[in-house]
Chains A and B, each alone.
Chain A
Amino acid sequence: MIKKVLIANRGEIAIRVIRSCRELGLVTVGVFSEADRKSMHVRYADEAYFIGPAPSRESYLNIDNIIEVAKKSGADAIHPGYGFLSENAAFSDRCKQEGIIFIGPSAYSIATMGDKIMARQTMTKAGIPVVPGTTEKITDESMALEIAGQIGFPLMIKATAGGGGKGMRLVRDYHDMLPFFRTAKSEAMNAFGNDSVYIEKYIESPHHIEFQILADHQGNVIHLFERECSIQRRHQKVIEETPSPLMTPELRDEMGKFAIAAARAVNYEGAGTIEFIVSDALEYYFLEMNTRLQVEHPITERVVGVDLVKEQIDIANGLPLNFRQEELRQDGHAIQCRIYAEDTDHNFMPQPGVVTHITVPLGLGVRYDVYVYEGYEIPIYYDPLISKLISWGKTRPESIDRMRRALYEYKITGVKTNIKFLKRIMDIPDFIGGKYNTHFIEQNHEKLFDSKLCTTELEDMAMIACFIDYLDKIQKIQPQKFTEEFASTWKDFGRKRSVLRL
Chain B
Amino acid sequence: MAYEIKLEHRTARIELLNRTGSKMLLAVDDRKYELDVMMVEKGVYSILYNGHSYNVELIEGESSKEYIVNTFIRSFNAEIIDAETKYRQSRKSGASAEGDNNISSPMPGKVIKIPVSKGDKVISGQTLIVVEAMKMQSEFKATADRTVRDILVKEGEIVNTNQIMIKLE
Contacts and interface: CB of A to CB of B under 8 A. Distances in A.
Interface of A: 166, 183, 186-187, 190-191, 234, 341, 343, 345-346, 349-353, 356-357, 380-384, 408, 411, 413-414, 416, 420, 423, 451, 453-454, 457-473
A451 B9 CA distance: 12
Interface string B16-29: 10000000101010
Interface centre among B54, B106, B113, B134 (most CB of A within 10 A): B134
Given A190-B132, A413-B43, A463 B49 contact: no
Contact of B45 (A191, A382, A465): A465
Given A357-B42, A462-B56, A382 B73 contact: no
A345 B43 contact: no
Given A350-B134, A416-B68, A463 B14 contact: yes
Contact of B107 (A350, A356, A381): A350
A386 to B, nearest CB: 11
26 contacts: A183-B139, A186-B113, A190-B137, A349-B106, A350-B109, A350-B136, A352-B108, A380-B108, A380-B158, A381-B110, A384-B136, A413-B41, A414-B59, A416-B70, A420-B73, A454-B74, A458-B71, A459-B7, A462-B7, A462-B71, A463-B28, A464-B47, A466-B5, A467-B14, A469-B58, A471-B16
Given A380-B110, A466-B69, 7 more contacts: A190-B135, A420-B74, A457-B49, A466-B78, A467-B16, A469-B39, A471-B1
B96 to A, nearest CB: 25
A459 B14 CA distance: 12
Interface of B: 1, 3, 5, 7, 10, 12, 14, 16, 24, 26, 28, 31, 33, 35, 37, 39, 41-45, 47, 49, 54-59, 64-65, 67-76, 78, 80, 106-110, 112-113, 132-139, 158
Given A383-B134, A384-B134, A413-B59, A468 B74 contact: no
Nearest to B22: A468
Main secondary structure on chain B at its contact with chain A?
strand
B3 to A, nearest CB: 6
A352 B56 contact: no
B56 A461 contact: yes
B45 A473 contact: no
B44 A461 contact: no
A461 B58 contact: no
Contacts of B5: 463, 466-467
Contacts of A187: 137
Contact of A464 (B28, B65, B76, B80): B28
B45 A469 contact: yes
Contacts of B14: 463-464, 467
Interface of A is mostly: helix
A306 to B, nearest CB: 30
A460 B26 CA distance: 10
B42 A356 contact: yes
Contacts of B64: 470, 473
A461 B80 CA distance: 14
B69 A465 contact: yes
A343 B107 CA distance: 10
Contacts of B41: 357, 413
A473 B45 CA distance: 14
